[in-house]
Amino acid sequence: MANHIMIDIESLDTSPYCVILTIGAVRFDPRGDGIVEKLELRPTLEDQTEIYNRIINDDTIRWWSTQNSAALEEAMGDNDREPLKDCMEKLYKFCWNRQAVWSHGAPFDVVVMETAMRQTLTDRPNPIPWPFYTVRDTRTLFEIAGVSLKDKKYSTKTTHKAVEDAAHQAIVVQDAYKKLMDKGFALK
């Protein structure tokens, strides 16, 4: 069933309170092929720093300055920006009632989204649309299955476009599931 979500973000710091440049989320079936639905969000930067006191790190800014112009425009451009609260509302609805939420590394993307939801969705009794026990980590799965995002067969043309990175990671999850099921693992 296509009821899993993969989240990827681009940001200006590595803390849970970082300024978020872009958010990509995709819905997929880990036992299937391909992506069912995509969501791409671009929060405004000003309200993140002025209203929510989110963080910009100088080292991260320097790192971004080393990226190609397409990646910079994708991450930093002003097109289609909307308030952080609106982005979190849309992500909340996209993720509601899903079986699992994934990210590439447990301590970052999902944690940043949960922090932003707690900051912005204050009118909700529970601002997080997923139970804590449904959070999944691709790095652990990839190591167990013996797959890597760096493998040439998973190479992509773009980098640092959150929605494409999320889709890419979801497809590698599907490959990892196939490998493990072929070895006799019973995966939910």
95-152 pLDDT, tens digit each: 999 999 999 988 999 999 999 999 999 999 999 999 999 999 999 999 999 998 777 7
**Cβ 127 vs Cβ 33: under 8 Å:** no
Tens-place pLDDT, residues 49-85: 999 999 999 999 999 999 999 889 999 999 999 999 9
Contact, 145 vs 183, CB < 8 A?
A: no
Asked whether the beta carbons of 33 and 134 are under 8 A apart, the reply is no
Q: Which domains does the chain have, with CATH numbers?
A: 4-182 (3.30.420.10)
pTM comes to 0.94
Q: CA 151, CA 109: separation in Å to the nearest integer?
A: 22
* Most confident stretch, 23-27, 143-147, 153-157: 23-27
